[in-house]
Amino acid sequence: MNNNELLSNLAALCVLVITLVVNVCIQIRTGVLEIISAILAIMYVICLLELLLLHLCSSLAILKSKQIIESKYQKCHDTASEDIQPSSGNLLAVEKLEKHVHNHWIMAASGSPQFITACSPVASASEVICALITGLHALTMLVGIIGMQEKDYKSVYKWSMMVILIVQSVGVVIGSIAPLSRCFATLSFKVSSKIISNHFRVFKVESYWTWKLYDWKHGSVHEFRSRNVEVVVEALKKFILSFCIKLQKGVVVICKITALAPFLFMICVLYCFRFTRWLLKAVFCSLGKKSENERNKDLRPYILQLEDDIELAERTLEGLSKSVNQFIQKGAKSPPNNLMKLLKKSTRDFQGAQKFDDIDHDIQSKVEYQDCWRSPMVTLTTIVSSLPLIEKEEVDSFLESVREGMVYVTIVEKGLNATDNHVGVQKAAEILW
């Protein structure tokens, strides 16, 4: 998401949560809820507001985090691209290309927003809150079942109250699976004394948490006609943002303190697992494992993380490497045969396509419009398929070849031309195809 999309989603989330909170407050105020239900409802509201505050604080860190990850990605991308050079031997070219794919796969997986968010202290704090909500709802469920057994149906929904309670419980359980599963994100990193000490330095707040607030604080305000009004607005802005900065730091510190609970729990689970594995004398140091670890060492420079002193665990890196191997093997088992046959038939190095591209550029210089790679492909395919005296089987085979090639063209095009202007032309070309 860009900044505008992030802002609109946060605004929608705030509207949803505030609506729920106001609704519950009205029910408590009017006496619709009983005393026990009102207490549980207040606790639910507190948890909702805490989660909303965590999302707002983490959204401020996202803006700077994206810049840090993109900067590191650009450096790793330049390093990885230096090794890719045209080679006379096909085998060597394939090996280089496979290594190139591995490097970029590691960059994409380690630098993905989902992975970085799951490893943040805000995510760990939300896990604890979700665990409390699940326990709280279990208590509510128990009280509700007791009330149902006494046949005390005070609601107009009568017997359907039990069905509503069960459906809500299923929603709570399903909604808690994803946050609670993020506890395992702690095991994705190497467990060492340095990592443990970093987790216990809870009062250290990284700069990317407050960078955006400082940027707003030191930024210039809109010029007013009255100098006095401008001074007052500037002072008010700095006062409010100074309070927000302190609040942001306080929330981060509280999240780090809260995150210690799942972190220590998962560390205990990890060491118990290692002790059990040692007792069973499981052998994991085979020759293939060593060769795999040697190759994983070459992938470590391409791991993207916000903090440089954190390293991925060997099993995590090996899992990422195996996942890309599976995709490579899958691609080897189902190659684009029709496209390869079409490429083998070409004996003129695509001179016709080159001439068409030159004409297309001449048109663009006279008429301003955005072009995309799929547009000339669709145009040329339309011309070829409409030529007379061509067997239907050959036309169908040609269309199938273009269809297989269109998949790769689409992937490259979306990666290179991702602006709003290009997206409109790409959609038009897709509809035309």
Find which of 305-319, 338-352, 395-409 is predicted with most confidence, using mean pLDDT. 395-409
pLDDT of the residue at 289: 47
Band (365; pLDDT cuts 50, 70, 90): low
Dist CA 105 CA 326 (whole Å) = 12
110 vs 13, which has greater pLDDT?
13
21 contacts 50 by C-beta, under 8 angstroms: no
Per-residue pLDDT at 12: 94
Place of tokens 């929330």: 251
Q: How confident is the model at residue 347 (pLDDT cuts 50, 70, 90)?
A: low
Least confident of 14-18, 50-54, 297-301, 414-418: 414-418
| Separation of alpha carbons 172 and 58, rounded Å | 23
The residues pairing with 189 across neighbouring beta strands, listed in sequence order, are 312
Tokens 């409010």 found at: 240
Of the chain, the percentage scoring pLDDT greater than 70 comes to: 82
- Do the Cβ atoms of 76 and 103 come closer than 8 Å? yes
When comparing pLDDT for 195 and 320, which is higher?
Answer: 320
Q: Rounded CA gap, 17 and 423, in Å?
A: 33
Cα–Cα distance between 302 and 75 in angstroms, integer?
Answer: 9
Nearest to 103 by CA among 311, 320, 372: 320
Token pair belonging to 307: 């903090």
Note the helical H segments in 280-372. Answer: 287-299, 314-333, 337-345, 351-366
- Three-state secondary structure along 84-152? CCCCCCHHHHHHHHHHHHHHHHHHHHHCCHHHHHHCCHHHHHHHHHHHHHHHHHHHHHHHHHHHHHCCC
Give the pLDDT of residue 13: 92
Residue 367, pLDDT > 60, answer no
pLDDT at site 247 = 92
- The mean pLDDT of 300-310, rounded to a whole number, is 79
Average pLDDT, the chain: 79
pLDDT in the model for residue 23: 87
Residue 367 amino acid letter = V
| Those residues with Cβ within 8 angstroms of residue 113's Cβ, 6 or more apart along the chain or in another chain | 62, 66
- Determine the average pLDDT of the residues in 407-428: 77
Q: What is the pLDDT of residue 259?
A: 84
The reported pLDDT for the residue numbered 420 is 65
- pLDDT at residue 32 greater than cutoff 80: no
d(CA 338, CA 340): 5
For the cut 90, the answer to whether the pLDDT of residue 297 exceeds it is: no
Q: Which of 157-161, 175-179, 299-303, 321-325 has the lowest mean pLDDT?
A: 157-161
Answer yes or no: is pLDDT of 421 > 80: no
Total Cβ atoms within 10 A of residue 199: 16
Q: Kindly write down the DSSP assignment for every residue of 383-398, as one continuous string.
A: HHHT-SS--HHHHHHH
Q: How confident is the model at residue 286 (pLDDT cuts 50, 70, 90)?
A: very low
In whole angstroms, give the CA distance from residue 15 to residue 1. Answer: 19
Alpha carbon distance 249, 209 (integer Å): 8
Query: What is the rounded average pLDDT of the residues 42-55?
Result: 89
What is the radius of gyration, based on Cα positions, of the chain? 29
Choose among 121, 83, 123: nearest CA to 102.
Answer: 83
What is the reported pLDDT for 250?
A: 92
SS3 at position 204: coil
Mean pLDDT of 364-369: 54
Name the residue with tokens 């989660």.
Answer: 51
C-alpha 58/C-alpha 163 separation (Å) is 36
**How far, in Å, CA of 126 to CA of 414, rounded?**
34
Checking if the pLDDT of 131 tops 60, the result is: yes
H or E stretch at 76: helix 35-82
For residues 50 and 53, give the distance between their C-alpha atoms in angstroms, rounded to a whole number.
5
Question: What CA–CA distance (Å, rounded) separates 425 from 152?
Answer: 63
Q: What tokens were used for 13?
A: 């989330």
**Global pTM?**
0.71
> Which tens digit of pLDDT belongs to each residue from 111-122?
888 888 888 888
Work out the average pLDDT over 185-196. Answer: 74
Answer with the residue of higher pLDDT: 193 or 285.
193
Q: Which residue has the tokens 């409390």?
A: 132
pLDDT number for residue 19? 92
Cβ neighbours for 96, distance < 8 A, ≥ 6 positions apart: 83, 84, 85, 87
350 vs 111: CA distance, rounded Å: 38
User: What confidence tier does 11 reach under pLDDT thresholds 50, 70, 90?
Assistant: very high
Q: Kindly report the backbone phi and psi dihedral angles of residue 373, in degrees, each rounded to the nearest multiple of 5, phi listed first.
A: -65, -35
| pLDDT interval class at 267 (50, 70, 90) | confident
- Which tokens is 329 given? 């093997």
Q: How far apart are CA 5 and CA 77, in angstroms?
A: 27
pLDDT band at 417, cuts 50/70/90? low
Q: How confident is the model at residue 359 (pLDDT cuts 50, 70, 90)?
A: low
Q: What integer pLDDT is reported at residue 375 of this predicted model?
A: 82
Residue 266 has pLDDT above 50, yes or no: yes
Amino acid at 3: N
